Structure 1
Amino acid sequence: MFVRIVKLSFHEENIPAFLENFESVKEKIRNAPGNRFLELYQDKNNKSIFFTYSYWETEEDLENYRKSELFTSVWSFTKKLFNDKPEAWSVDKLASLE
């Protein structure tokens, strides 16, 4: 399993549209084959910056999601709202304490 972190930066006036769309698709994303966890964060100092954290069983699962109709629909809507280029990282979790 690995973690996918995506940084998204929006025009301030587009934040409500992004949040409304995320609310409508988050369960579908979370239930994509191989997805084990999904969270959305908002930067405390710059309210225009968001991060998604998702846990995937395999890289193939993530790639299958990225090739899906769901991702195509979500991404085509979301990318129109950006004020900066998104950034993404795939990382291996080395430790987790609760």
Structure 2
Amino acid sequence: MLIRIVKMNFELNEIDNFLSIFNAHKQKIRNFKGCTHLELLRDVNNTNIIFTYSYWESEQHLEDYRKSELFKDVWSKTKKLFNNKPEAWSVERVETIE
């Protein structure tokens, strides 16, 4: 399993636009082949910083999504709303302590 974390910084006046884009596509993203989990997170102190947190069955599944028309459509609309370059990490779980 691969965990993908994407940090996005938005113009404050564009957050509602991003949320509309995300809400219109979230089920398609979550149901994309290989995606097993999707979350949207917001920084509590800087509300213009939003993260996506998703689980993928493999790196290839994530790459298939990133090459898809769905990703191209969502990303082309989203990247216009940034006020800073996005950051992304692909990580694997080492340990869970509950």
TM-score in terms of structure 2 length: 0.97
Question: Which amino acid in structure 2 is aligned with residue 25 of structure 1?
Answer: H
Q: C-alpha offsets along residues 13-69 of structure 1, whole Å, 9 cap, x if unaligned?
A: 000000011011000000000000000000000000001000000100000000000
Residue 95 of structure 1 aligns to a residue in which SS? coil
| Separation in structure 2 between the aligned mates of residue 20 and residue 38 of structure 1, nearest angstrom | 16
Q: Distance in 2 between matches of 1:13 and 1:46?
A: 13
Could you tell me which residue of structure 2 aligns to residue 54 of structure 1? 54
Q: How does 1:15-94 map to 2 (within 5 A)?
A: 15-94=15-94
- Stretches of 4+ aligned residues off by more than 6 angstroms: none
- Secondary structure of 2:71's aligned partner: helix
Letter in 1 for 2:56: W
SS in 1 for 2:62: helix
Give the paired residue count.
98
CA distance in 1, matches of 2:96, 2:27: 24
Gaps of 5+ in 1: none
RMSD: 0.8
Q: Secondary structure at the match of 2:17?
A: helix
Q: Unaligned stretches of 5+ in structure 2? A: none
TM-score (norm: length of structure 1): 0.97
For residue 95 of structure 2, give the secondary structure of its aligned residue in structure 1: coil
Give the fraction of aligned pairs with identical amino acids, expressed as a percent. 58
